[in-house]
Every structure is written in structure tokens, then in C-alpha cells.
Amino acid sequence: MNNPDFLIEVIYPKTGEILPLGEEGELVVTTLRRRCMPLIRYRTRDISAIYDGSCNCGAILDQRIMNVKRMED
């Protein structure tokens, strides 16, 4: 994923409250450079957390999405 093209947030699914880095919640995606059919706060129904820092592969990223799993109904 190209970080400058997307805004990734993690929210508490029941209230929509934005959670701080490192806390698990529902992934929400907003496209920033897409002109046709942009996604605005698209709720993925996936549970994950966002972390700062580098990857084990050596890549330096602003943020990483960790441990994606499907949200239970």
C-alpha cells in the first residue's frame, strides 16, 4: 500500500470513535488521490491495529497495519 494515497484509521466499531495507535479496532480507509469512485471512510469490517516504525524486512514506513482478522457479527 502506498501511504500517501490512503488515510487509514482504526475505530471502535460500535461508536465510530477513532482509537490511538496500537489499539485494535475496525479498519477504515479513505483514498486521498483517487478521482473516480473515491472511498470516504470505507469501513472494512476487519479488525486490526496500526503501529509506527519499520518493518522486519527493513522498509521504513510511517504506519503499519498489523494482524488483520475478520470482525465477528
Q: pTM score, two decimals?
A: 0.74
pLDDT at 11: 95
Domains (range + CATH), the chain:
3-68 (2.30.38.10)
Read off the pLDDT of residues 1-42 as tens digits, 9 standing for 90 and up. Answer: 556 788 889 999 999 999 998 899 999 999 888 788 888 999
Residue for grid cell 469501513: 43
- Tell me if residue 3 falls in helix, strand or coil: helix
